[in-house]
A = this chain, B = another copy of it.
Amino acid sequence: MRRQITGYSNPTVKHLRSLRDKKHRRREGKFLVEGLRLLTDALDSGRVPEMLVMAEARDPHPLLATLERAVDEAGGEIIETTPDILGKITGKDNPQIVAGMFAEFDTSLKLIDRSNASIWLVAQALRDPGNLGTMLRTGDALGAGGLILIDDCADPFSVEAVRASMGAVFTQQVAQAPWSDFLRWLRGDAEQLPGQLVAASLRDAVAYRGAPYSAPCFVLIGNESRGLPEEYEAACDLRVTMPMRGRADSLNAAVAAAVLGYEVLASLDG
């Protein structure tokens, strides 16, 4: 279905615009993705937007035509509007020529099949959406299965997280769970399930280089300013530390995930 929108006060414009806000995303179960590149990444991963919003008087582009066809075939809606209104929706002065609305993915832990990958990234109380998106991007590069968000984290469906993920939000599985649920899922009830939980830590830790990693390896990174709670670290199978040769005692969270993740990858491959 196709239609044109020319008015700022159109309900669809208001609805799309409201998705910049986490509360509305949660209530509607939808999120926005801006730009042809990210939307093409989504399509390549089999994700078709329910609604496509395009600027009038845009330059033709073969990828955009492909996107339009996919949305049409999936029975989605295609909206043409002015660049100004598209800017109002995305909150940008220089908006991309296209945005898409997707249904949020199911982030239940039970959807994760740990046998799908040797590495899984796990973040606890991660507050920065840029760090979250960067961890998704790193996970994609590592061949990780996905990112498990523990406790109160930034929103993986925020524009900042989606953008920083460079499309990896569509290829990496994302799950959200409180710590207790995660631990129960990880360890299993009756039988001991496979899975090594490794914390990037400063306490009682061994050198990250050459540590005895095993698959499936769950790499756990704590909050940006507080790190991991002590009892969370205590529940891990392995605590590892990276060299800190300077004044600071920690790395950026997404950087720590990457340095440790690449070490785990090399160890499991080697």
Question: Which residues of B lie under 8 Å from residue A265 when comparing CB positions?
Answer: 243, 245
Q: Are A262 and B248 in contact (CB under 8 A)?
A: no
Q: Please list the residues of chain A having a beta carbon within 8 angstroms of any beta carbon in chain B.
A: 41, 44-45, 130, 134, 137-143, 164, 166-168, 171-172, 209, 242-248, 250-252, 254-255, 258-259, 262-263, 265-266
A103 CB to nearest B CB, Å: 21
**B residues near A255, Cβ cutoff 8 Å:** 134, 137-138, 254-255, 258
* Min CB gap A252→B, angstroms: 5
- In the complex, the chain B residue whose C-beta lies closest to that of A263 is B262
- Asked if A246 contacts B142 (CB within 8 A), the reply is yes
CA distance A262 to B167 in the complex (A): 26
> Which 8 residue pairs are nearest across A and B when measured between Cβ atoms?
A143-B245, A140-B246, A255-B258, A134-B252, A259-B262, A141-B244, A140-B248, A171-B247
Closest chain B residue to A41 by CB distance? B247
The answer to whether A248 and B141 touch across the interface, beta carbons within 8 angstroms, is yes
Beta-carbon nearest neighbor of A262 in chain B: B259
> Which residues on the B side are within 8 Å of A266 (C-beta)?
209
A45-B247, A130-B130 in contact; A141/B242 too (CB < 8 A)? yes
Number of identical monomers bound together in the oligomeric complex: 2
> Does A247 contact B140, Cβ atoms closer than 8 Å?
yes
CB-defined contacts of A171 to chain B, threshold 8 Å? 246-247
A-B contact pairs, 24 of them (CB 8 A): A130-B130, A134-B252, A137-B248, A137-B252, A139-B246, A140-B246, A140-B247, A140-B248, A141-B244, A141-B245, A141-B246, A141-B250, A141-B251, A143-B245, A164-B252, A166-B248, A167-B247, A167-B248, A172-B246, A242-B262, A243-B265, A245-B265, A252-B258, A258-B258
Q: Which residues of B contact A137 (CB under 8 A)?
A: 248, 251-252, 255
How close is A40's CB to chain B, nearest CB, in angstroms?
A: 11
CA distance A142 to B44 in the complex (A): 38
Q: Which residues of B are found within 8 Å of A262, using beta-carbon distances? A: 242-243, 259, 263
Q: Which residues of B contact A139 (CB under 8 A)?
A: 246
Chain B: CB-nearest residue to A266 = B209
CB distance from A82 to the nearest CB of B (A): 28
A207 (CB) vs chain B CBs: closest residue: B266
